[in-house]
Amino acid sequence: MRQIIAEVLIIDDILISDALIQEQFVCNLNACLGACCWEGDWGAPLEKEELQTLEDIYPAVRPFLIPEGIAVLEEKGLYVWYEEADNYGTPLLENGACAYLTYDKRGIAKCGIEKASEAGAVSFQKPISCHLYPVRAKEEPAAGFRALNYDRWDICSAACSLGRELQVPVYQFVKDALVRKYGMAFYEQLDAAAREHYGKADEE
Ligand code: SF4
């Protein structure tokens, strides 16, 4: 079921900001160097089911991490509770970077879990919140509330410029993550809404 009210779409009872359709975004790693891995006050948000997953895959992910990250994860734990953010998240190094952060050959920040996944060591790609970024999912199961919002962050300004240049709406940029979390049928409904009401569509 799909409804459009003001600047919010509703698909399968999920409230979706129309900024996901109206704004453009493509990460420009050469410009930002993966700054979202070390900026911010809290670690990457983690879903409850992901906590056990991190416990299960840690031995296989450990060889891909940097020594400082391993030290923090083995001292603080594989995830921590952030009171102000009201969620579990990845632990942080002293300098504020995510404890799972590593670097690629170019010196650009790269998730150590994703590195392990690409090497075939684990099947879990990375936390869904990182995969979805710059889209943030907010869920309050007790109230039956689910929403998807576009998180604007100045460190991503180069991604906004590149997205405009390439004409890629936010929802298309995070297609794989949306399909991973909500399924292809949900994505196709979102794409149809973009096409019918906003004149945009995923050409893939
Ligand atoms: S989300 Fe923002 S900071 Fe992170 S890689 Fe993309 S553009 Fe860079």
- Return the best residue to mutate from 26, 32, 174 for the ligand 1 pocket (most ligand atoms within 8 A of CB): 32
pLDDT at 152 (0 to 100) = 93
One-letter amino acid identity for 61? V
Do residues 172 and 163 make contact, with C-beta atoms less than 8 angstroms apart?
no
CA 34 to each of CA 16, 61, 101, 170, 175: distance values in angstroms, whole numbers, following the listed order: 26, 20, 10, 18, 19
**Quick one: DSSP state of residue 99?**
T
pLDDT at 150 (0 to 100) = 95
Residue range 174-179: average pLDDT?
98
pTM over 0.95: no
Q: Which helix (H) or strand (E) holds 173?
A: helix 170-173
Ligand 1 atom closest to residue 133's alpha carbon, by position in its atom list: 1
| CB distance 34 to ligand 1 below 6 Å | yes
| CB distance 134 to ligand 1 below 6 Å | yes
Alpha-carbon dihedral angle through residues 30, 36, 37, 42, given to the nearest 10 degrees: 170
Q: From CA 49, how far away is CA 17, in angstroms rounded?
A: 25
Q: CB 1: neighbour CB atoms within 10 A? A: 7
Predicted confidence (pLDDT) per residue in 112-161, tens digit: 999 999 999 999 999 999 999 999 999 887 778 899 999 999 999 999 99
Q: From CA 35, how far away is CA 11, in angstroms rounded?
A: 32
Q: From CA 43, how far away is CA 90, in angstroms rounded?
A: 4
Nearest CA to ligand 1 atom 6: 27
Ligand 1 atom closest to residue 37's alpha carbon, by position in its atom list: 4
Taking 60 as the threshold, does the pLDDT of residue 201 lie above it? no
Taking 90 as the threshold, does the pLDDT of residue 36 lie above it? yes
6 confidence band (pLDDT: 50, 70, 90): low
Cβ burial of 126 (10 Å; 0-12, 13-18, 19+) is: buried
Taking 80 as the threshold, does the pLDDT of residue 5 lie above it? no
| CB distance 173 to ligand 1 below 6 Å | no
2 confidence band (pLDDT: 50, 70, 90): very low
4 confidence band (pLDDT: 50, 70, 90): very low
**Per-domain residue ranges for the chain?**
1-25+134-204, 30-133
| CB distance 147 to ligand 1 below 6 Å | no
In 141-176, DSSP assigns E strands to: 145-150
Ligand 1 atom closest to residue 32's alpha carbon, by position in its atom list: 8
Predicted confidence (pLDDT) per residue in 77-89, tens digit: 999 999 999 899 9
Query: What is the Å distance from ligand 1's center to 27 Cα?
Result: 5
Query: What is the Å distance from ligand 1's center to 107 Cα?
Result: 15
Taking 70 as the threshold, does the pLDDT of residue 203 lie above it? no
| CB distance 35 to ligand 1 below 6 Å | yes
Q: Are strands 135-140 and 80-82 parallel, antiparallel or unpaired?
A: unpaired
Residue range 153-177: average pLDDT?
97
1 confidence band (pLDDT: 50, 70, 90): low
Taking 80 as the threshold, does the pLDDT of residue 24 lie above it? yes
Q: Which candidate, 173, 171, 151, places its Cα nearest to that of 162?
A: 173
